[in-house]
Amino acid sequence: MAGNGIFAEILDGDVFKYYADGEWKKSNSGKSVPIVNPTTRRTHYKVQACSQEEVNKVMEAAKAAQKLWAKTPLWKRAELLHKAAAILKEHKAPIAECLVKEIAKPAKDAVTEVIRSGDLVSYCAEEGVRILGEGKFLVSDSFPGNERTKYCLTSKIPLGVVLAIPPFNYPVNLAVSKIAPALIAGNSLVLKPPTQGAVAALHMVHCFHLAGFPKGLISCVTGKGSEIGDFLTMHPAVNCISFTGGDTGISISKKAGMIPLQMELGGKDACIVLEDADLDLVAANIIKGGFSYSGQRCTAVKVVLVMESVADSLVEKVKAKVVKLTVGPPEESCDITPVVSESSANFIEGLVMDAKQKGATFCQEYRREGNLIWPLLLDNVRPDMRIAWEEPFGPVLPVIRIGSVEEGIHHCNASNFGLQGCVFTKDINKAMLISDAMETGTVQINSAPARGPDHFPFQGFKDSGIGSQGVTNSINMMTKVKSTVINLPSPSYTMG
Ligand code: NAP
């Protein structure tokens, strides 16, 4: 149970504490932030509303702890991460329970998220030991005008304090995907979890606490992003921001100082379906890609662009599968569960009504109860409809019928987003040409877009992000290169 057993110390009355200086604390603000259960629409948990003064203290402690951590042997950093991963996996049940109650994640998927997170932490520890143990050795005579009088040794050193801000949809996995690379690379880490998902994140942080990381190295400050977000992201002690979320990331990028940024933002992942595609495979992937976790995934299929000649057949196959999706509470692991908030449900409804007004074909009747929206496939969507371009982050999927592949590529590239995309065809040559033409960070051939496996590079173009994630890229991103040059009194040639 959340806040029980080994997690008892993170709860004070009915408010979960924040984590600073190796301890669980109550905020001096005396204020708390309610977390509304998307299913019941009632307050389920409360977290501390941390003050600016508390953020300042966390930053001071993070700076001091980082100096010592950078001197901690790499193998020892890895050892602690492996320990945290094991504790996290052992306590997957209470953490998964929080995900069910805070973000209405289907129970089975909630457990998977925690296990996947433990695996990510372990993989990161192993990868860090390998890649951070290596540097480069260069000699000067490879550049014109130089003799062999200089040896350059380069290595990767930590950035300092990394600020991690994950979104609500994977509050554990997208937190550890920032925490683990930051720590293995010798940084300290300040986490600001999403409000919906904060309690799951606090439980996860307690697993790192139990693993025995030094005081102050990891902290977790809670509070509404709209209230403490700017203070955190513009804090002078922060040396790197790793953010995953929506357009908020664009405004953070404009306000942040001259520090490395890792931004993983929204997407409008297109699924281009050619005439020769295996339509059963496409339909199965549209269901998985478009409706898993009720469409609340950055890499969900968010628009289907299908060749007119096979569109009727594909739409029929998808419709047949939509009827079979179970709709209901996350506790029962239903396929479609309530979306995260009432405002999110209202936004989705706005997109649906706009499509209705402009003449889209409704393959199912539109149905909503509270935050629960039944899965909906919208056929004959046209570019003048909002749903053709905007990210619903809900179980609503538009189908646009195209007359040529070029039309599909054009629609994909006209989007502000460029996260992922996918193409279905049996012709690998065509698939490669289309993949090269699509302006997205990743293109999947014959499968729906996906972020995992977590060690694959993952990046968004345009408004979908800055930089690249994936274990190796995140570790590299959270380091800087340091060179030492040895100057010799005379040219030195080996064995010459
Ligand atoms: P969001 O509203 O942008 O929030 C993301 C995080 O930013 C939350 O922790 C939020 O805290 C915090 N925040 C809010 N205002 C802030 C501010 N002024 N300064 C600093 N932080 C602030 O996104 P979301 O609704 O949680 O997640 C959905 C979005 O994330 C979608 O657009 C989705 O595509 C995207 N996403 C992208 C990826 C990817 O890897 N590309 C993965 C998953 C999701 P509060 O909760 O307290 O407001």
pLDDT digits (tens, 9 = 90+) for 287-298: 999 999 999 999
Average pLDDT over residues 83-92: 98
Which of 97, 113, 264, 391 is catalytic? The answer is 264
CA distance 6 to 1: 10
CA 129 – ligand 1 centroid, Å: 31
C-beta of residue 92 within 8 angstroms of C-beta of residue 114:
yes
Bond preceding residue 167 cis, omega within 30 of 0: no
Report yes or no: 100 and 330 within 8 Å, Cβ to Cβ: yes
CA angle 180, 184, 187 (to 5 degrees): 90
Q: What is the pLDDT of residue 452?
A: 84
Residue whose token pair is 């649906």:
352
Q: Which CATH architecture has domain 5-265?
A: 3-Layer(aba) Sandwich (3.40)
Q: Is the CB of 245 under 6 A from ligand 1?
A: yes
Q: String of b and e for 24-55 (b: at least 16 CB within 10 Å)?
A: bbebeeeebbebbbbbeeeebbbbbbbbeebb
Ligand 1 center to 490 CA (angstroms): 57
In the prediction, which pLDDT does 496 show? 60
Distance CA 467, CA 472 (A): 12
Q: Which among 413, 406, 403, 366 is positioned nearest to 382, based on CA atoms?
A: 403
- Considering only CA atoms, which residue is closest to atom 6 of ligand 1? 167
End-to-end CA distance of the chain: 71
Share of the chain above pLDDT 70, in %: 100
Residue 221 pLDDT greater than 70, yes or no? yes
Average pLDDT for residues 136-147, to the nearest whole number? 96
Largest CA distance in the chain: 82
| 34 CB near ligand 1 (under 6 Å) | no
Q: CB–CB of 411/433 below 8 Å?
A: no
Task: Please give the distance, rounded to the nearest whole angstrom, from the Cα atom of residue 31 to the centre of ligand 1.
Answer: 22
Residue 377 has pLDDT above 90, yes or no: yes
Task: Tell me the per-residue pLDDT of 144-193, one tens digit each, with 9 for 90 and over.
Answer: 999 999 999 999 999 999 999 999 999 999 999 999 999 999 999 999 99
Q: Where are the domains of the chain?
A: 5-265, 270-445
Q: Does the beta carbon of 393 sit less than 6 angstroms from any atom of ligand 1?
A: yes
What's the pLDDT score for residue 391? 97
Residues in CB range of 344: below 8 A, 6 or more apart: 371, 393, 394
Cα distances (angstroms) measured from residue 406 to each of 4, 286, 490: 57, 21, 61
Q: Has residue 411 got a pLDDT over 70?
A: yes
Q: What is the mean pLDDT of residues 128-151?
A: 96
* Ligand 1 atom having least distance to the Cα of 252: 19
Average pLDDT, integer, range 378-394: 98
Contact (CB, 8 A) for 270 and 303: yes
Residue 295 beta carbon below 6 angstroms from any ligand 1 atom = no
CATH H superfamily, domain 270-445: Aldehyde Dehydrogenase; Chain A, domain 2 (3.40.309.10)
Q: Is 441 in the pocket of ligand 1 (CB under 6 A)?
A: no
Cβ–ligand 1 contact at 296 (below 6 Å): no
- Residues 299-351 have pLDDT tens digits of 999 999 999 999 999 999 999 999 999 999 999 999 999 999 999 999 999 99
- Integer Cα distance of 287 and 454 in angstroms: 22
305, with CB counted inside 10 A (0-12, 13-18, 19+), is buried
Give the CA angle between residues 153, 156, 459 to the nearest 5°.
130
| Confidence band, pLDDT 50/70/90 cuts, at residue 81 | very high
Q: Which of 31, 99, 163, 169 to mutate to test the pocket of ligand 1 (most atoms within 8 A of CB)?
A: 169
Question: Catalytic site residue 275?
Answer: no
Q: Is the CB of 194 under 6 A from ligand 1?
A: yes
Distance, in Å, from the CA atom of 437 to the CA atom of 409, rounded to the nearest integer, reads: 7
Residue 266 Cα: closest atom of ligand 1: 34
pLDDT at 494 over 80: no
Ligand 1 atom nearest to 465, measured from its CA: 41
Report the nearest atom of ligand 1 relative to the CA of 451: 40
